[in-house]
Amino acid sequence: MESRVIGVWAHTSRMEAVDAASEFVGGVLAVGDGSVRVAVDDRRLPDVQAKLPMVELLPLSAVETAEMLVVFGGDGTILSAAEWALPREVPLLGVNLGHVGFLAELEAHETTRLVEQVLSRDYEVEERLTVGVRVHDTAGVLKWQAFAVNEASIEKIARKHMVDVLVSVDRRPLSQWSCDGVLVCTPTGSTAYAFSAGGPVVWPDVAAIELVPLLAHALFARPMVLSPDSLVELTLGEASEDEATVVCDGRRETTIGIGDRVVVTRHPQNLRLARLKEQPFTTRLVVKFQLPIHSWRSA
């Protein structure tokens, strides 16, 4: 009999996430044929186990991989789960308990359907481009590295100071901005921080990298869409009055000084998202942002 492992990840501070996760886990183990094991994120394992004391659950840290990681929370929880799933190339399936929930696939009340489709493997997997981030000091020594599903950013630390950033693309200088920061984002991230900063929405099946300056004091400081194979370099210039911070997805960060260089390129691994139903991105965009599709005149 085939042995299957399904992973579960839940928001770390919302009890409704534990409730929804426990209902899903109970359903999977009740309907499954005994070959299915469930591994729960270690931080939430005691809470889920307390609601299901008669079943055996695994800590997620004890398994090498899983056929899927079901995530209960908002987009931020999915980004958190990506830290475990991306290097293992495990598909993520989001159950929305947040607000916008762009990455989520369905709502928490759809547990029965979720159990049925996960157990029957009735889903498709969508690939999303991610970026890799490396920080080098003035001598070229690698200081820090990470990945980003949504965006990597250089941002000012001190409210009263701007940062001075030299931006190069494919080893050629593009512009130097005094600004609040600079974003380098993926199509997935184009509906997140970059969207709020005035960047364009990029359809997720478009292979591209987006460059968005944040409140730059410059005549030319427009968002740009680059090739997915572009090499983007952001160097903290001497006109900066303070250190800056490099942040990936709002979750992983480090501090950089004058002359340090941030290199952003396409990451070799894509984020894998499980989709239970066909919902074109246009429809998702209209639903999540509540876009008007009828003119007020039509009333």
Catalytic, 75? Answer yes
Helix axes 111-119, 15-31, angle to 10 degrees: 50
Which helix or strand (DSSP H or E) is residue 167 part of?
strand 163-169
Q: List, as one string, the DSSP characters of 97-159.
A: -SSS-SS--EETT-HHHHHHHHHTT--EEEEE--EEEEEE-TT--EEEEEEESSEEEEEESST
Beta bridge partners of 214: 181
- Check 41, 75, 164, 249 and give the catalytic one: 75
Strands 36-40 and 4-10: parallel
Q: Which amino acid is at 251?
A: R
Ordered alpha helix ranges (H), 139-259: 193-196
State the Cα–Cα distance between residues 52 and 285, nearest whole angstrom.
37
Cβ(175)–Cβ(220) under 8 Å? Answer: yes
Active site residues: 75
